[in-house]
Amino acid sequence: MPRTATPTRRSRLFRLTAAFAVLVALGGYLAMQYVSGNKGVPRCTVRAADGAGDEGRTYEMSPEQAANAATISAVGTTRGMPERAVTIALATALQESALRNLDHGDRDSLGLFQQRPSQGWGSARQIMDPVYSAGIFYDRLAKVPGYSRLPLTVAAQRVQLSGFPQAYAKHEPDATLLAAALTGRAPAALNCSPSTATVSGPGDAAKVRSELVRAFGQGVLPSAGAAGAAAASTVSVPVPAASAKTGDDAASQRGWELAHWAVARAEALRIDEVGFADRVWSDGEGWRTERAEQQESGTAEVRIRLAQ
Protein backbone atom coordinates (compact mmCIF):
# COMPACT_ATOMS: atom_id res chain seq x y z
CA MET A 1 0.00 0.00 0.00
CA PRO A 2 1.59 3.32 -1.05
CA ARG A 3 2.52 5.75 1.69
CA THR A 4 0.70 9.06 1.86
CA ALA A 5 2.82 12.21 2.34
CA THR A 6 2.29 13.67 5.78
CA PRO A 7 1.60 17.40 6.26
CA THR A 8 5.11 17.77 7.71
CA ARG A 9 6.71 16.16 4.67
CA ARG A 10 4.62 18.29 2.30
CA SER A 11 5.61 21.45 4.17
CA ARG A 12 9.31 20.52 4.01
CA LEU A 13 9.06 19.80 0.28
CA PHE A 14 7.35 23.14 -0.31
CA ARG A 15 10.09 25.01 1.58
CA LEU A 16 12.82 23.24 -0.37
CA THR A 17 11.12 23.96 -3.67
CA ALA A 18 10.65 27.63 -2.77
CA ALA A 19 14.28 27.95 -1.66
CA PHE A 20 15.50 26.38 -4.91
CA ALA A 21 13.36 28.77 -6.95
CA VAL A 22 14.81 31.75 -5.08
CA LEU A 23 18.38 30.53 -5.72
CA VAL A 24 17.67 30.03 -9.41
CA ALA A 25 16.18 33.52 -9.69
CA LEU A 26 19.13 35.07 -7.84
CA GLY A 27 21.60 33.20 -10.03
CA GLY A 28 19.84 34.41 -13.15
CA TYR A 29 19.84 38.00 -11.92
CA LEU A 30 23.54 37.95 -11.10
CA ALA A 31 24.34 36.36 -14.46
CA MET A 32 22.42 39.08 -16.28
CA GLN A 33 24.20 41.77 -14.27
CA TYR A 34 27.57 40.24 -15.13
CA VAL A 35 26.86 39.83 -18.84
CA SER A 36 25.37 43.30 -19.20
CA GLY A 37 28.23 44.96 -17.32
CA ASN A 38 25.78 46.77 -15.03
CA LYS A 39 27.69 49.20 -12.85
CA GLY A 40 25.41 48.28 -9.95
CA VAL A 41 27.65 45.23 -9.51
CA PRO A 42 31.17 46.65 -9.18
CA ARG A 43 33.89 44.10 -9.81
CA CYS A 44 37.54 43.70 -10.68
CA THR A 45 38.96 40.94 -12.83
CA VAL A 46 42.54 39.76 -13.19
CA ARG A 47 43.47 37.63 -16.19
CA ALA A 48 46.50 35.48 -16.84
CA ALA A 49 49.34 37.05 -18.80
CA ASP A 50 49.79 36.02 -22.41
CA GLY A 51 52.24 33.15 -22.66
CA ALA A 52 51.97 32.33 -18.96
CA GLY A 53 50.77 28.82 -19.71
CA ASP A 54 47.34 29.34 -18.14
CA GLU A 55 45.63 31.52 -20.75
CA GLY A 56 41.99 32.07 -20.03
CA ARG A 57 42.39 31.84 -16.27
CA THR A 58 40.79 34.72 -14.38
CA TYR A 59 40.12 35.77 -10.80
CA GLU A 60 37.23 38.07 -9.88
CA MET A 61 36.90 40.21 -6.76
CA SER A 62 35.27 43.36 -5.47
CA PRO A 63 36.95 46.78 -5.75
CA GLU A 64 37.52 46.69 -1.99
CA GLN A 65 39.38 43.40 -2.28
CA ALA A 66 41.36 44.65 -5.27
CA ALA A 67 42.39 47.79 -3.38
CA ASN A 68 43.62 45.72 -0.43
CA ALA A 69 45.49 43.33 -2.73
CA ALA A 70 47.16 46.28 -4.49
CA THR A 71 48.26 47.69 -1.15
CA ILE A 72 49.74 44.35 -0.07
CA SER A 73 51.69 44.15 -3.33
CA ALA A 74 52.88 47.76 -3.24
CA VAL A 75 54.16 47.47 0.32
CA GLY A 76 56.06 44.32 -0.60
CA THR A 77 57.78 45.63 -3.72
CA THR A 78 58.61 48.93 -2.00
CA ARG A 79 60.48 46.90 0.63
CA GLY A 80 62.40 45.13 -2.12
CA MET A 81 60.58 41.83 -1.63
CA PRO A 82 60.39 39.52 -4.68
CA GLU A 83 57.18 38.54 -6.45
CA ARG A 84 57.21 35.21 -4.58
CA ALA A 85 56.89 37.09 -1.29
CA VAL A 86 53.92 39.04 -2.66
CA THR A 87 52.31 35.75 -3.73
CA ILE A 88 52.77 34.33 -0.21
CA ALA A 89 51.30 37.46 1.36
CA LEU A 90 48.30 37.51 -0.97
CA ALA A 91 47.57 33.81 -0.44
CA THR A 92 47.73 34.36 3.31
CA ALA A 93 45.32 37.31 3.19
CA LEU A 94 42.96 35.37 0.89
CA GLN A 95 42.74 32.61 3.48
CA GLU A 96 42.63 34.78 6.59
CA SER A 97 40.20 37.49 5.49
CA ALA A 98 39.30 36.98 1.81
CA LEU A 99 41.20 40.26 1.25
CA ARG A 100 38.83 42.21 3.51
CA ASN A 101 40.02 44.45 6.32
CA LEU A 102 37.98 42.75 9.05
CA ASP A 103 37.43 44.41 12.41
CA HIS A 104 36.76 41.04 14.06
CA GLY A 105 38.01 37.46 14.07
CA ASP A 106 38.99 34.54 16.27
CA ARG A 107 39.67 35.90 19.75
CA ASP A 108 41.40 39.26 19.14
CA SER A 109 42.37 38.65 15.49
CA LEU A 110 41.95 41.65 13.18
CA GLY A 111 42.61 42.97 9.71
CA LEU A 112 43.72 41.50 6.40
CA PHE A 113 46.02 38.92 7.97
CA GLN A 114 43.98 38.36 11.17
CA GLN A 115 46.90 39.48 13.30
CA ARG A 116 46.46 39.54 17.09
CA PRO A 117 47.44 42.50 19.29
CA SER A 118 47.93 40.08 22.19
CA GLN A 119 50.56 38.20 20.20
CA GLY A 120 52.78 41.19 19.51
CA TRP A 121 51.57 42.17 16.05
CA GLY A 122 50.85 45.76 17.08
CA SER A 123 47.90 47.73 18.41
CA ALA A 124 44.40 47.17 17.07
CA ARG A 125 44.59 50.55 15.32
CA GLN A 126 47.88 49.65 13.65
CA ILE A 127 46.67 46.24 12.50
CA MET A 128 43.58 47.79 10.92
CA ASP A 129 45.88 49.87 8.69
CA PRO A 130 46.54 47.70 5.58
CA VAL A 131 49.92 49.35 4.98
CA TYR A 132 51.07 48.54 8.51
CA SER A 133 49.66 45.01 8.60
CA ALA A 134 51.23 44.13 5.23
CA GLY A 135 54.53 45.65 6.33
CA ILE A 136 54.79 43.63 9.54
CA PHE A 137 53.83 40.47 7.65
CA TYR A 138 56.75 41.03 5.26
CA ASP A 139 59.05 41.86 8.19
CA ARG A 140 58.40 38.44 9.69
CA LEU A 141 58.43 36.63 6.34
CA ALA A 142 61.88 38.07 5.58
CA LYS A 143 63.17 36.40 8.76
CA VAL A 144 62.12 32.94 7.55
CA PRO A 145 65.30 31.30 6.13
CA GLY A 146 64.89 30.45 2.44
CA TYR A 147 61.20 31.40 2.40
CA SER A 148 61.18 31.91 -1.38
CA ARG A 149 62.20 28.28 -1.91
CA LEU A 150 59.77 26.80 0.62
CA PRO A 151 56.30 25.53 -0.30
CA LEU A 152 53.88 28.43 0.08
CA THR A 153 52.00 26.70 2.89
CA VAL A 154 55.20 26.24 4.88
CA ALA A 155 56.38 29.82 4.40
CA ALA A 156 52.99 31.28 5.33
CA GLN A 157 52.69 29.03 8.38
CA ARG A 158 56.13 30.07 9.67
CA VAL A 159 54.74 33.61 9.87
CA GLN A 160 51.14 33.00 10.87
CA LEU A 161 51.33 29.97 13.18
CA SER A 162 47.81 29.07 12.08
CA GLY A 163 45.71 26.24 13.46
CA PHE A 164 44.95 25.24 9.84
CA PRO A 165 48.29 25.49 8.02
CA GLN A 166 47.26 23.50 4.93
CA ALA A 167 44.49 25.98 4.12
CA TYR A 168 46.88 28.43 2.46
CA ALA A 169 47.71 26.03 -0.37
CA LYS A 170 44.36 26.29 -2.14
CA HIS A 171 44.86 30.02 -2.66
CA GLU A 172 48.24 29.78 -4.38
CA PRO A 173 46.92 29.77 -7.99
CA ASP A 174 44.80 32.89 -7.43
CA ALA A 175 47.55 34.62 -5.46
CA THR A 176 50.04 33.88 -8.24
CA LEU A 177 47.68 35.41 -10.79
CA LEU A 178 47.16 38.51 -8.63
CA ALA A 179 50.87 38.95 -7.91
CA ALA A 180 51.79 38.82 -11.60
CA ALA A 181 49.37 41.68 -12.33
CA LEU A 182 49.92 43.81 -9.24
CA THR A 183 53.72 43.69 -9.41
CA GLY A 184 53.44 44.82 -13.03
CA ARG A 185 54.80 41.70 -14.68
CA ALA A 186 51.51 41.13 -16.57
CA PRO A 187 50.58 44.35 -18.47
CA ALA A 188 46.95 45.51 -18.57
CA ALA A 189 45.90 42.38 -16.68
CA LEU A 190 43.69 44.08 -14.08
CA ASN A 191 40.39 45.64 -15.05
CA CYS A 192 37.87 47.17 -12.66
CA SER A 193 34.31 48.38 -13.13
CA PRO A 194 33.78 50.63 -10.10
CA SER A 195 30.36 51.59 -8.84
CA THR A 196 29.59 55.28 -9.23
CA ALA A 197 26.78 54.87 -6.71
CA THR A 198 28.97 54.06 -3.70
CA VAL A 199 31.18 57.16 -3.85
CA SER A 200 30.17 60.52 -5.27
CA GLY A 201 31.86 63.83 -5.88
CA PRO A 202 35.12 64.78 -7.58
CA GLY A 203 38.42 63.06 -6.99
CA ASP A 204 41.02 64.65 -4.73
CA ALA A 205 44.51 64.85 -6.25
CA ALA A 206 46.09 65.49 -2.84
CA LYS A 207 44.52 62.31 -1.48
CA VAL A 208 45.75 60.28 -4.46
CA ARG A 209 49.30 61.57 -3.91
CA SER A 210 49.07 60.84 -0.20
CA GLU A 211 47.92 57.27 -0.83
CA LEU A 212 50.66 56.73 -3.40
CA VAL A 213 53.30 57.82 -0.89
CA ARG A 214 51.82 55.64 1.85
CA ALA A 215 51.93 52.56 -0.36
CA PHE A 216 55.12 53.16 -2.38
CA GLY A 217 57.17 55.54 -0.22
CA GLN A 218 58.30 59.15 -0.64
CA GLY A 219 60.32 58.49 -3.78
CA VAL A 220 57.27 57.60 -5.87
CA LEU A 221 56.42 61.24 -6.63
CA PRO A 222 58.39 64.34 -7.65
CA SER A 223 58.95 67.20 -5.25
CA ALA A 224 55.98 68.98 -3.69
CA GLY A 225 56.59 72.01 -5.90
CA ALA A 226 56.37 69.98 -9.09
CA ALA A 227 53.30 68.14 -7.84
CA GLY A 228 51.58 71.39 -6.93
CA ALA A 229 52.05 72.73 -10.43
CA ALA A 230 50.06 69.87 -11.94
CA ALA A 231 46.41 70.28 -12.84
CA ALA A 232 44.03 69.61 -9.96
CA SER A 233 42.28 66.89 -11.96
CA THR A 234 45.38 64.87 -12.85
CA VAL A 235 48.24 63.13 -11.08
CA SER A 236 51.35 62.16 -13.03
CA VAL A 237 53.61 59.50 -11.54
CA PRO A 238 57.08 59.34 -13.15
CA VAL A 239 58.48 55.99 -14.20
CA PRO A 240 62.30 56.08 -14.49
CA ALA A 241 63.58 55.18 -17.92
CA ALA A 242 65.42 51.93 -18.49
CA SER A 243 69.11 51.87 -17.66
CA ALA A 244 71.90 49.41 -18.23
CA LYS A 245 71.27 48.16 -14.70
CA THR A 246 67.48 47.79 -14.78
CA GLY A 247 66.66 47.20 -18.45
CA ASP A 248 63.47 47.87 -20.38
CA ASP A 249 61.51 45.09 -18.68
CA ALA A 250 62.06 46.49 -15.18
CA ALA A 251 61.03 50.00 -16.22
CA SER A 252 57.88 48.71 -17.91
CA GLN A 253 57.02 46.53 -14.93
CA ARG A 254 57.26 49.49 -12.57
CA GLY A 255 54.88 51.48 -14.75
CA TRP A 256 52.34 48.67 -14.89
CA GLU A 257 52.59 48.15 -11.15
CA LEU A 258 51.65 51.80 -10.59
CA ALA A 259 48.94 51.72 -13.25
CA HIS A 260 47.31 48.62 -11.78
CA TRP A 261 47.44 50.14 -8.30
CA ALA A 262 45.51 53.16 -9.62
CA VAL A 263 42.91 50.96 -11.35
CA ALA A 264 42.45 48.91 -8.17
CA ARG A 265 41.92 52.12 -6.16
CA ALA A 266 39.70 53.76 -8.79
CA GLU A 267 36.45 53.48 -6.86
CA ALA A 268 37.75 54.71 -3.52
CA LEU A 269 39.82 57.55 -5.02
CA ARG A 270 37.34 58.58 -7.74
CA ILE A 271 39.72 57.85 -10.62
CA ASP A 272 38.20 58.03 -14.11
CA GLU A 273 41.18 57.20 -16.29
CA VAL A 274 44.65 55.65 -16.01
CA GLY A 275 47.23 55.68 -18.78
CA PHE A 276 50.63 54.12 -19.25
CA ALA A 277 52.70 53.59 -22.40
CA ASP A 278 50.20 53.09 -25.22
CA ARG A 279 47.36 51.76 -23.08
CA VAL A 280 44.55 53.67 -21.36
CA TRP A 281 42.04 52.35 -18.83
CA SER A 282 38.76 54.17 -18.30
CA ASP A 283 35.76 53.48 -16.10
CA GLY A 284 33.20 51.51 -18.08
CA GLU A 285 35.51 50.73 -21.01
CA GLY A 286 38.49 48.90 -19.57
CA TRP A 287 41.85 48.97 -21.36
CA ARG A 288 42.28 50.28 -24.90
CA THR A 289 45.29 51.04 -27.07
CA GLU A 290 46.20 54.64 -27.92
CA ARG A 291 49.24 56.22 -29.49
CA ALA A 292 51.78 56.94 -26.76
CA GLU A 293 53.00 60.52 -26.40
CA GLN A 294 56.70 61.08 -26.95
CA GLN A 295 58.54 61.58 -23.66
CA GLU A 296 61.35 64.02 -24.35
CA SER A 297 62.72 63.84 -20.81
CA GLY A 298 63.51 60.15 -21.11
CA THR A 299 61.12 59.42 -18.25
CA ALA A 300 57.73 57.85 -18.89
CA GLU A 301 54.80 58.38 -16.56
CA VAL A 302 51.57 56.90 -15.34
CA ARG A 303 48.76 59.37 -15.95
CA ILE A 304 45.85 59.38 -13.48
CA ARG A 305 42.79 61.50 -14.33
CA LEU A 306 40.26 62.10 -11.58
CA ALA A 307 36.48 62.41 -11.66
CA GLN A 308 35.17 65.95 -11.76
Distance of CA 54 to the CA centre of its chain: 20
**Does the pLDDT at position 296 exceed 80?**
no
Please name the helix (run of DSSP H) or strand (run of DSSP E) that holds residue 61, with its range, or none: strand 58-61
Q: How confident is the model at residue 286 (pLDDT cuts 50, 70, 90)?
A: very high
pLDDT, residue 241, reads: 74
Q: How confident is the model at residue 201 (pLDDT cuts 50, 70, 90)?
A: confident
Give the total residue count for the chain.
308
pLDDT, residue 227, reads: 46
**Does the pLDDT at position 308 exceed 60?**
yes
When pLDDT is averaged across residues 180-195 and rounded to a whole number, the result is 93
For 120-141, the pLDDT digits (tens) are 999 999 999 999 999 999 999 9
Please provide the average confidence, as pLDDT, over all residues in the chain.
Answer: 85
pLDDT, residue 228, reads: 46
- State the amino acid at position 263 in one-letter form: V
Nearest to 274 by CA among 171, 184, 180, 213: 184
**Does the pLDDT at position 294 exceed 70?**
no
**Does the pLDDT at position 196 exceed 70?**
no
**Does the pLDDT at position 289 exceed 80?**
yes
Rg over CA atoms, the chain: 22
When pLDDT is averaged across residues 197-222 and rounded to a whole number, the result is 89
Domains defined for the chain, CATH in brackets: 45-186 (1.10.530), 201-306 (no CATH)
Q: What percent of the chain has pLDDT over 70?
A: 76
Q: Are 78 and 65 in contact (CB under 8 A)?
A: no
For 78-108, the pLDDT digits (tens) are 999 999 999 999 999 999 999 999 999 999 9
Rounded distance between C-alpha atoms, residue 276 and residue 264, angstroms = 15
Map residue 128 onto helix, strand or coil: coil
pLDDT, residue 112, reads: 98
Q: Are 287 and 218 in contact (CB under 8 A)?
A: no
When pLDDT is averaged across residues 261-276 and rounded to a whole number, the result is 96
In 10 A of CB 10, how many CB atoms? 11
pLDDT, residue 39, reads: 44
Rounded distance between C-alpha atoms, residue 57 and residue 235, angstroms = 32
